[in-house]
A and B are shown apart, each in its own frame.
Chain A
Amino acid sequence: MGKYAEYMILGYSAMAVILGGMIAWIYLRYRALQREAALIEQMAAEEGQDWVHAAVGATESEALPGEATPGVSGMAASGTGADRARSAPHET
């Protein structure tokens, strides 16, 4: 090892750590964003599924017109399946 080689090694090591850190930071953030994007898409798909279940349940098997509270809540727009299900006790 030549004169002042330890300082040269120190300088190059510091450069490698900082440059490597910059690259690693970009890469790790990219990976984290990919995971977040996948999670969001999963949430969106599950939400879509819930919405379908709710709509089907309100108009068919889970409507339970006999147990429903009489009256109109005003929460659903008139003419929708959910609204028809709520108004069912008045019709029977």
Chain B
Amino acid sequence: MAYSEKRTKILMGLTYAAAVLFVLAMLMNFFYVGPERQQGEAQRIFYVHLSSFLGSFLAFGAAVVAGIAYLRSRNPKWDTLGHSAVEIGLGFSTITIVTGMAWARPIWNTWWTWDPRLTSVTIMWLAYAAYMMLRTGIEDPERRRRFAAVYAIVAFASVLYTIIIIRVRPDTIHPVVAGPTQAEPEGSFEVSGRIRDTLFFNMFTFTVITVVLVWHRIRLENFSERVARRKMEVLADL
């Protein structure tokens, strides 16, 4: 099944838009917003750290929607979406972890500590890495799709746990930018104008990048299936 011209044009347009947005976001991160008083230049990591987590959250969320839709319809296209979204989400959560480590070294004086947030994000990453590995271990396509759909729904608990943990555990040292905490049950979002603008622009940029990458990944998966099908046809004729 070939893709329509219109869809291809939309994807190409989104791809160029994502590239331009990314360049603009980097310009904002380095030139529009200044360094933070206490954290210095290391604070600039925060924009991509939080935005990449948003990207992984959206991708893993898409995998949940795809999982539910697959279990209801048994249409393999939902499995393709789920698989693609988890793969891209895993990449973004790797960015979140690595950028977090680079920020933690000067601010916490350590690359890594088993803080509740860091532990939960590790569990989340491992849960989705296991999804990728376990998928390859099941040969029957129907069983693999069913398993992946259920797993993607269940694994999302680790994403929610990662978001909630710093708001309910008093012993975490991870900063909370927005929302209620133990110290501030009412919730707050105390960031200055330029930092807020830059943060929101980065979050929007990473959302677009996530959509573009998942879409490209879906097309790659579909292309791969078409090639595999054609190969079987040719081999059968030999």
Alpha-carbon distance A82/B153, docked complex (angstroms): 59
How many chain B residues sit at the interface, stated as a range, is: 35 or more
- Contacts of A3-45 to chain B: CB distance below 8 A: 3-5, 7-8, 10-12, 14-15, 18-19, 21-23, 26, 29-30, 33, 36-37, 40-41, 43-44
Q: Is the CB of B213 within 8 A of A23?
A: yes
Residue of A nearest to B52 (CB): A15
Interface class of chain A by DSSP: helix
Alpha-carbon distance A4/B223, docked complex (angstroms): 45
Instruction: Judge if A74 is at the interface, Cβ distance under 8 Å.
Output: no
- Contacts of B89-131 to chain A: CB distance below 8 A: 91, 94-95, 98-99, 102-103, 105-107
Query: Closest 7 interchain pairs by CB?
Result: A3-B40, A11-B102, A4-B42, A11-B45, A8-B41, A5-B41, A4-B106
Known A7-B103, A8-B41; 15 more pairs at CB < 8 Å: A2-B40, A7-B106, A10-B102, A11-B42, A11-B48, A11-B98, A11-B102, A11-B103, A15-B52, A15-B99, A18-B98, A26-B220, A37-B227, A40-B234, A47-B238
Binding site for B on A (CB under 8 A): 1-5, 7-8, 10-12, 14-15, 18-19, 21-23, 26, 29-30, 33, 36-37, 40-41, 43-44, 47
